[in-house]
């Protein structure tokens, strides 16, 4: 018999339980699984570039759609193969609000996972460039450097606002995947939302770690200081607002608080009866 999908209230509780597990990982586990997630998201980003450069002269809409169609494999690998992704872990604030983990536990996870994501992204970008997949002045190289330059060229507000929108969608994809009870359902739960955020042009901090470092390794004239100041910092902050504040607070107020109130009410009734 096919397993049913969890209800939103059940997903909220499952997300809290997942947050507890994430908070209790060791620093080494967080870093290693974070490196894997950085690589996994980079795999999706690399496929995105590869597909788009082949369609560059066909149609820009089709080019973006086909690139966005392959990008979600990164989150699929994170969710189903097992890895720690900073943007998805923003949902840990749900466990924090429920007082199941401490602020220090959550920030420790975010720090080590973010560090691992960055290391994994840089490693993959370096290996891809060294592997000879990118030749001088080819469509793929031109596109990769153009993407990186475009991200560096955003204003702080543009990057910040696009990042808020991005991580609202990313954590909702994780939310849906948590509720899905079989592999096919989890694939579709990841694919549609992530495809949509890429197609819409929103900003994802971990994906940008790969896109921008790849552009730099291919010759884009920028410094690591500029990469952080002009993109990664505002995008990371925006991702936190979208994924750690907006979505978790709404779902906590809607699904967790009423459940707690019902439990308290039942306890009061029982105590009065007995």
Give me the pLDDT at residue 263, please.
56
Give me the pLDDT at residue 266, please.
52
Residue 256: is its pLDDT beyond 80?
Answer: yes
- Sequential DSSP letters for 31-91: HHHHHHHHHHHHHHHHHHHHHHHHSTTT-HHHHHHHHHHHTTHHHHIIIIII---HHHHGG
Can you tell me the mean pLDDT for 141-152? 95
Question: Which range has the worst mean pLDDT, 4-13, 28-37, 105-114, 232-241?
Answer: 4-13
Residue 204: is its pLDDT beyond 50?
Answer: yes
What predicted TM-score, i.e. pTM, was given to this entire model? Answer: 0.92
Q: What is the pLDDT of residues 79-100, one digit of tens each?
A: 999 999 999 999 999 999 999 9
**CB–CB of 247/171 below 8 Å?**
yes
Structure tokens at 123: 């490693």
Residue 168: is its pLDDT beyond 80?
Answer: yes
Average pLDDT over all residues of the chain: 92
Q: How far is residue 184's CA from residue 241's CA, in Å, rounded to a whole number? A: 30
Residue 267: is its pLDDT beyond 80?
Answer: no
Give me the pLDDT at residue 265, please.
45
Give me the pLDDT at residue 54, please.
74
Q: What is the pLDDT of residues 104-124, one digit of tens each?
A: 999 999 999 999 999 999 999
Q: Label residue 132 by pLDDT band (50, 70, 90).
A: very high
Higher pLDDT, 158 or 66: 158
Conformational region of residue 96, where left means phi above 0, alpha means psi within -120 to 50, and beta covers everything else: alpha
Return contacts of 176-182, CB within 8 angstroms, 24+ apart. 177/75, 177/79, 178/6, 178/11, 178/14, 178/15, 178/18, 179/5, 179/6, 179/7, 179/8, 179/10, 179/11, 179/14, 180/5, 181/3, 181/4, 181/5, 181/6, 182/2, 182/3
Q: Label residue 60 by pLDDT band (50, 70, 90).
A: confident
Q: Label residue 229 by pLDDT band (50, 70, 90).
A: very high
User: What are the structural domains of the chain?
Assistant: 8-266 (1.20.1080.10)
Direct distance between the N- and C-terminal alpha carbons of the chain, in angstroms, rounded to an integer:
42
């Amino acid at each position: 018999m096919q397993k049913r999908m969890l209800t939103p209230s059940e997903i909220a509780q499952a997300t809290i339980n997942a947050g507890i597990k994430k908070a209790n990982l060791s620093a080494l586990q967080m870093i290693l699984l974070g490196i894997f997630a950085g690589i996994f998201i980079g795999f999706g980003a690399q496929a995105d570039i590869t597909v788009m450069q082949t369609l560059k002269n066909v149609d820009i809409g089709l080019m973006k759609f086909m690139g966005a169609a392959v990008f979600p494999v990164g989150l699929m690998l994170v969710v189903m193969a097992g890895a720690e992704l900073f943007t998805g872990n923003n949902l840990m604030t749900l466990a924090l609000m429920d007082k199941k983990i401490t602020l220090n536990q959550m920030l420790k996870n975010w720090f080590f996972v973010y560090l691992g994501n960055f290391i994994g992204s840089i490693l993959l970008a370096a290996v891809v460039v060294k592997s000879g997949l990118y030749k001088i002045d080819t469509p793929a190289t031109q596109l990769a450097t153009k993407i990186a330059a475009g991200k560096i060229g955003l204003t702080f507000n543009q990057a910040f606002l696009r990042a808020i929108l991005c991580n609202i969608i990313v954590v909702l994809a994780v939310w849906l995947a948590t509720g899905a009870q079989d592999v096919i359902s989890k694939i579709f739960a990841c694919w549609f939302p992530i495809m949509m955020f890429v197609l819409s042009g929103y900003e994802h901090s971990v994906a940008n770690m790969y896109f921008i470092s790849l552009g730099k390794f291919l010759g884009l004239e920028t410094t690591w200081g500029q990469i952080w100041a002009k993109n990664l910092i505002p995008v990371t902050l925006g991702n936190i607002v979208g994924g750690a504040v907006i979505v978790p607070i709404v779902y906590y107020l809607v699904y967790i608080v009423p459940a707690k109130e019902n439990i308290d009410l039942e306890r009061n009734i029982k105590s009065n009866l007995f």
